[in-house]
Amino acid sequence: TKGALLRFARGNTLLLQKGGRFQDASEELGVTMGRWAWSSMFADINNDGWDDLLVANGYITTPDTGDL
């Protein structure tokens, strides 16, 4: 159904690990509209011993560059 597929077509997804499971925090943290990805890498950003996936993305949609 359309509703089941919408979660795959909304834009970015941010999954946070919570107690051995992953929780979708995309809408709560406001990261669903990032446009296309420019680059990605794995690095241990928070020094917890696990590599984190970092993705740089975005698209300029207005003359205002305040969101860069």
In a domain, 30, yes or no: yes
Rounded CA separation 65/57 (Å): 14
- Please give the tally of structural domains in the chain: 1
Question: Whole-model pTM above 0.85?
Answer: no
Q: Is the pLDDT of residue 21 over 70?
A: yes
CB atoms within 10 A of CB 12: 15
**What average pLDDT does the structure give for the chain?**
81
In a domain, 18, yes or no: yes
Determine the pLDDT at residue 18: 87
Full domain range(s) for residue 30? 2-57
Categorize the per-residue pLDDT at 22 as very low, low, confident or very high, splitting at 50, 70 and 90: very high
CB atoms within 10 A of CB 14: 17
